Amino acid sequence: YSAFMITWADENIIIQLGKEDKKSIVATHFPCSCIDDGECLIILYKTEKVEGEVQHHKIVHQKEHYSVFYIDTVGGLHTKTKELFKNNDVKQFKNLCVYGEKGITVAEALKTDGRFIDDLGNFKLSDNNNPKRLTVCTQKVKELHQKEFKICLPKVKKKTKHEKLQESPSNNSQSNCERRSESEIIYLARQEGIRVKTSRFPGDSFQKELNLRKENFGKIQQSFSQVYRVRKLLELGKSVCKVFVKDVSVGTGFVLFDTFILTSAHLFKGYVEGKELQQDVEVFAIFDYEEPEPEANFYCFRAENTFIDFDAELDYAVLELNPEGLLSKFGPLPDNGEACIIGHPAGRVKEMDPTFIIEIEKREQAAADYLSQYKKQLIINSLSDHVRKQGIEKILQGGHKAGKVGTYHTFMYHGASGSPVFNGLGKVFGLHTAGYTYGFTKEVESVIEYAHPLIMIFEKFKDGYGKPGRNTINNFCVFSKWTYAS
C-alpha cells in the first residue's frame, strides 16, 4: 500500500477536510498548523491533475500567521460560461478551503493554491452571508478568515453583429475592409492632431487667434497673480485633501465644516450599502500632501465607514473629519469669470489650475471648438457622437441641468474628482465632478468639465441632516445665508 502511495503525485491528489461528506477540500501544501488536532483527512486519487505546480513556502508558520477561508465550487455572478478550476472533479465538493499569509492579496492566495485556473482575471468574491458585500481580488486576505465566498466575474460584453461578421471565415474580405476603416480613422485622427497647428489657421490667423487666447489667459493670470489672492487660495488649500479609498480609488476632497469632509460619490461606486461603506473598505484623508516623497510631511486621518450624507445623482458624499472647513468661504455659482481648482490629479501632490467659467450659451461652441482640431469631418462626427452618448445635451443651453452646473476647461482629470472650485474672490462655489470625454487612445481627454454648485449640495445635505437638535447645522445655515448674500 505504501509503495503504491509513493507513485501518487501531489497534482493528482484531493484531500477532504473532515468526515462530513463532500464538504471541504484543501490543497496538498495546506499548512498543518491550520489543521485542528484530531481532524480527519481523507485522501483521494484522481487520474487527471487537480492541482497545478506552485511555488509555496517550505516554512510552516503558526496558525495566527494565516487567514483561512472557503470558496464555493458553484460560482456567483457571470460564471456560468467559464470554468473556474483546473479539474472539474472538485465540483463534487461544496467548497475549497484556501489559505494565505495575512499580508498577501486574494488573487495571490488563489494563484498559490494551484487548483484555480490561471486567468481568473479581475474577479471579486461575494460573501455567502451577504451577497451584496464584494471583496476585490487586490484586497488583502487578512479580513477573510473563516468566511465563505463565491467567485464573481465581470460581465462579458456580448459580441455585436459587426464583431461576429469579423470572426466569420466567409466574410474575411469584408472583415479586413472594416478593420482597415477603423484603423484608418485612428490614423487620420493622429495625423490631424499633428498637423493642426499649421493646417487649421490659414495665413496669419493663427497668430491672431494666439494673441486673443493670450489676452484671455492673461486676464485669468492677472486675477490669480495678485499676491493677496494667491495667499488666500493657499490658505484655503489647507482644507483640501487627497481621498484614498484603499484598494479601490483615489480622489480629492475638502473639509466643509466642523468634522465633515465633502468629496465625489463615484469614488465609492460598487462599495456602498445604503449609507455605509462595505465593511472591509478603508477611507483615508491625507492633508498637506504638497511635496513629493520622501520629503512629504503629511497628515493622515481615517474616515468613519458610515456616510453622513450620500447622493449619487449630485455625485457627492460627506464623511467625518477634523480640520477647519470651507463652508464659511462659499459663494454662489457664477455665470462667468475666473475660477481656480485645487486638487490631487492622478493622486499626485496638490496642484492648482486657474481657468474661467464657460457661460451656458457658449458651452456647445466650446465643446465644438475643442474637437475642431480634427480637420476630417468623419473624425469630428465620430467623436461628437461619443460625447453626445454621455448626455452632454443636459448641460447645454435648453438642457434640464444647464443651470445646475458650472463648466470650464481644466487639466484636472482622473483623481481630481471632489476638488473645490473657487471664484476670483476666493469663494468656493463648486465640487469638481467630471467631464465629457473622448479619445482614440488610452489617454482620454474631455471637451468640457463641470462642477456641481456647493449651495445645491449644501441645501440637499441640510434637508437630510438638519434635524431638530442638530445645532451645528442650524447655526451654519444662518451663517451661510449671510455669506452667500455677500
- Listed by start position, the domains of the chain span 2-152, 227-464
Higher local confidence (pLDDT), 299 or 164: 299
* pLDDT tier for residue 151 given thresholds of 50, 70 and 90: very high
Each residue of 279-316: pLDDT tens digit? 778 888 887 777 776 656 666 778 887 888 888 888 98
- Of the pLDDT bands very low, low, confident and very high (cuts 50, 70, 90), residue 170 is very low
* pLDDT for residue 169 is more than 60: no
Better-scored residue on pLDDT, 319 or 207: 319
pTM confidence score: 0.41
Instruction: Give me the chain's average pLDDT, please.
Output: 77
102, 142 Cβ separation under 8 angstroms? yes
Give φ, ψ of 339 to 5 degrees: -150, 160
Which triple of cell numbers denotes residue 417? 474628482
CA distances from 157 to 153, 154, 177, 439 (A): 12, 9, 23, 21
211 pLDDT higher than 60: no
43, 15 contact by CB (below 8 A): yes
427 band by pLDDT with thresholds 50, 70 and 90: confident
| pLDDT for res 278 | 81
**Exposure string for 404-428, b = 16+ CB within 10 A, e = fewer:** ebbbbbbebbebbbbbbbbbbebbb
152 vs 171 pLDDT, higher one: 152
Of 141-145, 344-348, 433-437, least confident by mean pLDDT is 344-348
Residue 352's DSSP bridge partners are 342
CA 194 to chain centre: 31
Tell me how far apart the alpha carbons of residues 210 and 194 are, in angstroms, rounded to a whole number: 17
| Percent of the chain residues past pLDDT 70, beyond the cut | 72
Percent pLDDT > 90 in the chain is 22
Backbone angles phi, psi at 460, to 5 degrees: -65, -45
Q: Specify the CATH architecture of the domain 227-464.
A: Beta Barrel (2.40)
Task: Say whether pLDDT at 236 is over 60.
Answer: yes
Does position 194 have pLDDT exceeding 80, yes or no?
A: no
pLDDT at 470: 46
Most confident of 6-15, 161-170, 212-221: 6-15
